[in-house]
Amino acid sequence: MSTSRQPPSTFVLPYQAQWSDMDQNGHMRTTAYLAAAEDSRMQYFAAAGFSMREFTRLQIGPVVQTDELRYQAELRLLDEASLEIQLAGLSPDGARFGLRNIFTRADGRVACTVTTIGGWLDLKQRRLTCPPGNLLTLLTNLTRAG
């Protein structure tokens, strides 16, 4: 049984651009944004009691279908930022979801948004499935993307 805890509806993590995040122009790489977004989502789920161990026990896991990045301001080496997760959409049964990660620089400017469309994969049947109620509640309690 999940030890689900209810994190706040706003989930924000600190972020600092690292050497390995930089491209040849000294800007944060696309793949670095995607990796940070993926990691923050798993931290959000883990903070609410849905660790990798719990997903394995339930035989489900999040699967990404598409990612869309929108760049608005640069992040450079060692720049500090915050990384927020918001709900960008949810199917009526919860099997499909949209999550938005917002990278906000220390000066308050949004550097990038990553919008991810995904779903819950049944690891045995290899198809999308409805999440358990407490996981669905976790998603519906997230701040809604504007």
32-76 pLDDT, tens per residue?
A: 999 999 999 999 999 999 999 999 999 999 999 999 999 999 999
What are the start-end ranges of the E strands in the chain?
11-16, 60-71, 80-90, 96-105, 110-122, 127-128
Task: Please report the pLDDT score of residue 19 as a whole number.
Answer: 97
For residue 104, what pLDDT band results from cuts at 50, 70 and 90?
A: very high
- In sequence order, the 6+-apart residues with CB closer than 8 A to the CB of 30 are 69
Residue with tokens 């949209």: 98
Of the candidates 11, 52, 145, the one whose C-alpha atom is nearest the C-alpha of residue 90 is 145
pLDDT digits (tens, 9 = 90+) for 114-127: 999 999 999 999 99
